[in-house]
Amino acid sequence: MPNHDHTESLRAAERRLQAAQLTSDVDALAELIDDAAWFTGPDGNLYSKQDDLDAHGTGHQVLSRVEEEELLVLATAHTGVTWFLGTLEGAVGGNPLVARMRYTRTWTHDDLSGWKIIAAHAMFLDNQPVDVNDNATDG
């Protein structure tokens, strides 16, 4: 059952994450990402928290725009999920990047630490709108 008190605090945590990504604020990212977290990148590879912090800290990944189109949030007492849809612009490894992305992030919550990402998945999208109610398959 969703917990609306936690829903708004999770939405705020997701937006703090977006702001930290945009400014490569490694300290804020470190606070928002659990030490045990793993990410599936759009390339299909798995990345650790340290990989993510290093990408921002070394300037390997630099964002100049994070534009949220949609943010869906589901929160319970100790677990939450956010679904971000939007456009990222910047550079990765010195190569320009402009991409419409979908991120699914799983968060854990406790009263001492607040919300922390424990797992995430990112994927590139084409420029077509995504309809979460479309159940069509290719099979």
Residues 12, 44: Cα–Cα separation, whole Å: 28
Give the H/E segment covering residue 57. Answer: helix 49-57
pLDDT digits 0-9 by tens, 6-28: 999 999 999 999 999 999 999 99
pLDDT digits 0-9 by tens, 52-110: 999 999 999 999 999 999 999 999 989 999 999 999 999 999 999 999 999 999 999 99
pLDDT for residue 130: 44
Query: Over 70: is that where the pLDDT of 48 sits?
Result: yes
Alpha helices in the chain (DSSP H): 4-23, 26-32, 49-57
pLDDT digits 0-9 by tens, 112-135: 999 999 999 999 997 544 444 444
